């Protein structure tokens, strides 16, 4: 079977339902691009299933899906939301030669709440973190009605993401990323520090990189009032890479 020139790996966030990232699917199907959208360990079931799960498990699940995708596609683009953005950056460091591009959406490189720095101590005394879903987190409050994310997570899971952030949030690592990258950021993000998106963009080693700000959306970029505009940016970026990958694959087949 002949490989597609390009495929996409879609990665969701911590505590997220798959519907936080699956709006991208319609755009990929319109372009005829194959994709993989794994549920990372402990998700799409019940919050208790995150207990004992490590960031290494999330990476392993994403890596497995990427390898499966590369069986049917010559190159891949990774699109990651929140924690999925952190996993995307980590995968890019390992698989850069097989990637055509990278999209991070509100990448969870730093929590906005400074109290999360106490997570290494808090995990000993508090077993779970309960989320207070707030209409103020959305520019379109009606979107809150469709939120299927976990209503709480084990403190252990939040600590795992905290440790993952510290591992990846290093300028020398970001400088190693050279592939085309689209960084999508939400100015009103109350979950992840919005300033970290500028830091990410500034430290990427890519010559071809774009930082796209949205000024009304909260953290749930693809489930909020500006989702169409955000999806348009992703589609435009992926379509350009798709055309480029098709040309490269055609030249490779002729050689």
What pLDDT, on a 0 to 100 scale, did the predictor assign at position 250?
Answer: 78
Rounded Cα distance between 141 and 90, Å, is 33
Rounded Cα distance between 6 and 3, Å, is 8
What pLDDT, on a 0 to 100 scale, did the predictor assign at position 209?
Answer: 98
What pLDDT, on a 0 to 100 scale, did the predictor assign at position 255?
Answer: 65
Rounded Cα distance between 237 and 223, Å, is 19
Question: Which runs of E-coded beta strand occur in the chain?
Answer: 4-11, 35-36, 73-81, 99-105, 128-130, 152-154, 181-186, 209-214
Calculate the CA 171 to chain-centre distance: 19
pTM to 2 decimal places: 0.96
What pLDDT, on a 0 to 100 scale, did the predictor assign at position 134?
Answer: 73
Token pair for residue 51? 């207990």
| CB 106 within 8 Å of CB 226 | no
Task: Please tell us whether the domain made up of 4-254 is placed in CATH 3.40.50.1820.
Answer: yes
What pLDDT, on a 0 to 100 scale, did the predictor assign at position 138?
Answer: 81
| CB 185 within 8 Å of CB 112 | no
Positions in the chain short of pLDDT 50: none
What pLDDT, on a 0 to 100 scale, did the predictor assign at position 51?
Answer: 96
Q: How many CB atoms lie within 10 A of CB 81?
A: 28
Count H helices and E strands in the chain, helices first. 8, 8
Phi, psi of 84 (to 5 degrees): -60, -30
Strand 99-105 with 181-186, pairing? parallel
Nearest CA to 40 out of 20, 21, 12 is that of 12
């Amino acid at each position: 079977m002949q490989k597609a020139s390009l495929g996409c790996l879609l990665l969701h966030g911590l505590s997220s339902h798959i519907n936080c990232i699956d709006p991208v699917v319609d755009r990929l199907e319109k372009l005829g691009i194959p994709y993989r959208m794994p549920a990372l360990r402990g998700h799409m079931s019940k919050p208790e299933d995150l207990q004992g799960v490590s960031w290494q498990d999330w990476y392993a699940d994403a890596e497995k899906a990427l390898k499966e995708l590369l069986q049917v596609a010559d190159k891949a683009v990774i699109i990651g939301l929140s924690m999925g953005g952190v996993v995307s950056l980590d995968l890019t460091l390992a698989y850069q030669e097989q990637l055509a591009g990278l999209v991070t959406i509100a990448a969870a490189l730093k929590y906005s709440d400074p109290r999360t720095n106490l997570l290494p101590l808090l995990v000993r005394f508090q077993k779970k973190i309960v989320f207070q879903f707030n209409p103020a987190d959305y520019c379109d409050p009606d979107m809150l009605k469709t939120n299927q994310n976990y209503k709480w997570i084990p403190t252990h899971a939040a600590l795992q993401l905290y440790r993952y952030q510290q591992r990846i949030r290093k300028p020398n690592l970001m400088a190693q990323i050279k592939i085309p990258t689209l960084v999508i950021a939400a100015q009103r993000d109350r979950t992840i520090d919005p300033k970290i998106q500028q830091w990410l963009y500034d430290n990427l080693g890519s010559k071809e990189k774009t930082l796209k700000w949205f000024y009304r959306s909260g953290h749930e970029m693809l489930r909020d009032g500006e989702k169409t505009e955000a999806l348009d940016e992703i589609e435009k970026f992926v379509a350009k890479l798709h055309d480029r990958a098709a040309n490269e694959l055609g030249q490779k087949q002729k050689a």
